[in-house]
Structure 1
């Protein structure tokens, strides 16, 4: 954790304070507290399920907010989400010579594996490529 984050969370023993964000009626504080509380609850549950100290959930909420706060983002669901996650796993496990192994492991066709690799390679390339026009 960075020094700045440590200063922010140093005195907090319990993240239940998020439940009281709705108490302040100013426009800035009532806009998104329910979403932050929901995200914190979700993270606490997942951390607990994986044997990780759930008290870091608030720090994760902060990190997520710093990274994507203010953006309008879309989180896919259902089949789209499952396909994206499968493709990410295929890319993670791909070593350049294990196409057949990936076909068997993920129970998909060769075409699906090649398509996943192509899609993820393109995303990876875009992530590392400089933007000539200064856009992010």
Structure 2
């Protein structure tokens, strides 16, 4: 079993054997560097989330590098994520639904009972579609 060094990991991430990710992180944090504010914010968010997950925070540089390569130079609109939040809430409702707890779900999620019924119908339709292909 071979052990990998940080230098080998750095080589894979950036293609340069002498790059030290800790030094790159210091450059990002340096107020005098000319990094765009959006890049600083993304780097900071990645670093914070990786720390929360107990992962190596140096991966934030790799993630930032990937986003820059994929989307660099492109004007990009990111929605606020309300649709994602709604879909996650729908999944929670679906997983908590027992068949006779619509009123409790309505109170818990501060939604009307009609809304809960619509969510259940939508999620049931997805489940059926996932398990049973269309005939035509």
* TM-score computed with the length of structure 2 as normaliser: 0.50
Bigger radius of gyration among the two? 2
Greater per-residue helix proportion = 1
* TM-score computed with the length of structure 1 as normaliser: 0.50
